[in-house]
Structure 1
Amino acid sequence: MKLISLSAHFDGQSIQLDEPYKLEPNIKLIITVLPEQLPEREAGLWLSRHQLNKAYNQNDDYPLNAIKTPNPDYAGS
């Protein structure tokens, strides 16, 4: 199964999907709780930033020869 993000909400008793989606029994899920009172766009930006921060961190080592087009304004080049 491919990775997919689904919008949902908690109704006080259980998590409810905002749109119908067929899920297989016992499928593993990851739930991300968004901060309260964020407009939908800000919540999406927050989630994107959070996921990017998880994917890339300061300990990643990318050699300079991996850069196809150098940025002359970058201080590290």
Structure 2
Amino acid sequence: MTDDAPIRVLLADDQALVRGAFALLIGSAPDMEVVGEAATGREAYELARSARADVVVMDIRMPETDGIEGTRLIAA
């Protein structure tokens, strides 16, 4: 990542409205871009690898794989 490259953000929340609100806020920042959205921790893990996100904004309570386990998978 270069100094003028935007920060690549992945959003993980099971509520589409919450993801949309965060995407709107992040998308309005000139130095940030949303590179993916996930509804489960497992989806976040898969997208974090393929989208090469710099930052993951993760909800803790999600179906299937929660945010804590999703974070463990990403960090491993």
TM tier relative to shorter chain = 0.3 to 0.5
More strand by share: 2
Compare CA radii of gyration and give the structure with the larger one. 1
More helix by share: 2
Structure-1-length-normalised TM-score? 0.32
Between the two structures, name the one with larger relative contact order (CA 8 Å, sep ≥ 6): 2
